[in-house]
Amino acid sequence: MGMTITIGNVTIKKTAALAPLAGVADRAFREVCRKLGACYTVGEMTSSKGLTYHNQKTANLLALGESEHPGGIQLFGDDPLTMARAAEMALAYQPDMIDINMGCPAPKVAGNGGGSALMKRPQLAGQIIREVVRAVPVPVTVKFRKGWDDQSVNAVEFAKMAEQNGAAAVTIHGRTRQQMYAPSADWQIIRAVKQAVSIPVIGNGDVDSVASAIGMYEQTGVDLIMIGRGALGNPFLFSQIDRYFTDGTLLPDPPLEQRLGYLLEQTRLAVEYKGESVALKEARKHAGWYLKGSPGAARLRERAGGLKTMADLQMLVDEALLQEQKARQRRQ
């Protein structure tokens, strides 16, 4: 398999990308994932309306780190001209690509006509893509789902429509809006999309290990895989995939100490970018993911719910490592 893919004028290593996860894949998490081998990252979904109304909170979502190239910025909205204007404004943050969200299942996005609701209005979706492509010099990609619900699976037609309107690549998540994130993702529909268009196709859904990464590439023929929830609490997955595709080595899962080291590093970066109070509030859920499967995880997760300072987090990490040490001694 070729070691790189090209989208427009952007070359990306063919390993695994990190999906844009609103409220989760912030700059700090993305930078840790990049350091560990994620070949491409996309910023958090940003409102085109918020951006064009010069909302500062919106603008903060757009900053890409130095290591985030090639990297994309993701916009959502349902008005073609507002989307085009927002894409122009986003160029100030030097994204290598602009990604349009047509897959978000969240009610506050889909309920307002954006995200996955656009799958029900392919004509409007086409206008949006066309206007954004016309507005910016960088490649424009589109992320969408299998369909709105099981009765309206239209990913193949939707992908062709995106290509016809100038999209440089598409990302397909193998679930419908109705499924949100439950039952397993449909890789057959990803394969069908790949066979239907000539632009690169990125596959998303249920990749959480080297084995499933290989599986998605083999079963769907996609040009690139994108990992979302599979990377939460385990950014090291990118190192494992990168290494496997480089020389066939299967790296073992990292010990807890190493995993929690990434949590500390990620939170320190977040403190730098958003201040301690916001960063630690957001670190609570990340800590829960990083602690998954560790001895006494349930109680530790409960404690993570009260994190307020870096010192609290350091104490939690020390406690988790102590629990693990005790568990290991009991086993010996």
Which residues have a catalytic role annotated?
Answer: 104
Q: Which helix (H) or strand (E) holds 219?
A: helix 210-220
| Chain CA centroid to CA 100, Å | 13
| Chain CA centroid to CA 154, Å | 22
3-state helix, strand, coil in the chain (%, to 5): 50, 15, 35
d(CA 141, CA 111): 22
Taking a C-beta distance cutoff of 8 angstroms, is the pair 138, 91 a contact?
Answer: yes
d(CA 49, CA 43): 17
CA atoms within 13 A on the CB side of 120: 18
d(CA 265, CA 189): 37
Contacts of 278 (CB under 8 A, 6+ apart): 270
Identify each DSSP E strand in the chain by its residue range.
4-7, 10-13, 16-18, 41-42, 46-47, 71-76, 97-102, 140-147, 169-176, 201-204, 224-227
d(CA 316, CA 300): 7
